[in-house]
């Protein structure tokens, strides 16, 4: 059976030869589980496409559009030193509430999870360490994305009783719902600030969300209220990563750590991954995207 990665490479050679070349180069940075994860998760995605009358060609087209968006956003970022967006309302109108844009954006990002080493490392960090924070009875994920993380959580946290997924985008939520069929997950189309469950959570995942906000601190305060005192949060956010829906710019990893501390959390484990094969200092100098991920818990109050 031809691997999914090889199929994607063949399509990229036609649609975006430079992206195909970069993907071939990236293969050396993946671990020996990459093919297994790709065949499983992207295999499920391809079955969803086929059920919808589409093929992987559609997904690759979305991925190419994502790359084109990123190239333009990066050019503007390098010139101005800031992200193009400064308002959640404008991003909501242009992206989250725009079905055609949100659709290709989410499909492109799903492929990127297994085509970009930094995104793949973010996923494996979650996958390899999540079990360390059991027991988990109630699990919440803020930002549905494409459902990858909650799918893995459903697999790894077999004893959990409640899985909730909250997102402001109907398009994103519907994609996740289709990919997560029969996974016993509750889907909530609403703003997390309007979401009011009658219980707190043992575990909350918020992957690449706070950079989409004008004030990330407010989100961490909201998470603090939703989390049990002994609960855990898996938080990820990037440094210097312009995208069509990014608002808040983190310029260094220390800025993220400072925000976490000021919000009343402590870092238990963390991981950083640079999108290019260079060191951290050089990445900051060139404003190359850096992915940060951490398992965090509430700081223990001294009495």
pLDDT reading at 182 higher than 80 = no
Q: Where do we find the tokens 């009658």?
A: 198
pLDDT reading at 11 higher than 70 = yes
With pLDDT > 70 as the criterion, what percentage of the chain qualifies?
98
The CA-CA-CA angle for residues 98, 99, 101, to 5°, reads: 70
Q: How far apart are CA 225 and CA 263, in angstroms?
A: 11
pLDDT reading at 2 higher than 80 = no
The pLDDT assigned to 141 comes to 98
Span 215-257, pLDDT tens digits: 999 999 999 999 999 999 999 999 999 999 999 999 999 999 9
Average confidence score pLDDT of the chain:
95
Q: Which two tokens stand for residue 65?
A: 């559009």
Q: How far apart are CA 142 and CA 134, in angstroms?
A: 19
Among positive and negative, which fits the CA dihedral 199, 140, 169, 241?
Answer: positive
User: Is the whole-model pTM more than 0.85?
Assistant: yes
The pLDDT assigned to 303 comes to 40
Q: How far apart are CA 181 and CA 193, in angstroms?
A: 26
Q: How far apart are CA 138 and CA 160, in angstroms?
A: 6
> Residue 157: CB partners within 8 Å, gap ≥ 6?
130, 134, 136, 139, 203
Cis peptide before 102 (omega within 30 of 0): no
Span 67-100, pLDDT tens digits: 999 999 999 999 999 999 999 999 999 999 999 9
pLDDT reading at 260 higher than 50 = yes
Taken in order of first residue, the domains within the chain and their CATH numbers are 4-115 (no CATH), 117-298 (3.40.50.150)
């Amino acid at each position: 059976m031809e691997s999914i990665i090889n199929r994607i490479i063949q399509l990229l050679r036609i649609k975006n030869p430079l992206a195909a070349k970069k993907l071939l180069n990236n293969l050396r940075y993946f671990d020996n589980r990459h093919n297994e994860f790709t065949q499983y998760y992207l295999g499920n995605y391809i079955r969803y496409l086929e059920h919808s009358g589409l093929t992987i060609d559609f997904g690759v087209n979305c991925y190419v559009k994502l790359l084109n968006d990123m190239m333009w956003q990066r050019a503007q970022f390098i010139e101005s030193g800031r992200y193009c967006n400064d308002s959640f309302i404008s991003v909501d109108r242009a992206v989250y509430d725009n079905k055609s844009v949100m659709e290709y954006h989410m499909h492109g990002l799903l492929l990127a999870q297994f085509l970009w080493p930094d995104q793949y490392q973010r996923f494996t960090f979650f996958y390899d360490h999540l079990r360390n924070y059991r027991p988990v009875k109630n699990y919440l994920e803020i930002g549905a994305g494409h459902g990858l993380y909650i799918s893995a959580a459903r697999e790894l946290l077999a004893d959990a009783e409640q899985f909730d997924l909250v997102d402001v985008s109907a398009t994103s939520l519907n994609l996740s719902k289709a990919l997560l069929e029969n996974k016993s997950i509750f889907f909530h189309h609403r703003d997390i600030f309007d979401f009011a469950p009658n219980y707190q959570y043992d575990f909350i995942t918020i992957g690449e969300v706070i950079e989409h906000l004008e004030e990330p601190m407010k989100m961490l305060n909201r998470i603090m209220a939703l989390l049990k005192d002994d609960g855990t949060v898996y938080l990820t956010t990037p440094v210097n990563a312009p995208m069509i829906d990014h608002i808040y710019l983190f310029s260094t990893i220390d800025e993220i750590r400072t925000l976490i501390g000021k919000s009343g959390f402590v870092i238990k484990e963390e991981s950083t991954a640079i999108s290019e094969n260079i060191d951290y200092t050089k990445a900051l100098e060139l404003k190359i995207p850096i992915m940060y991920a951490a398992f965090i818990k509430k700081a223990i109050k001294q009495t």
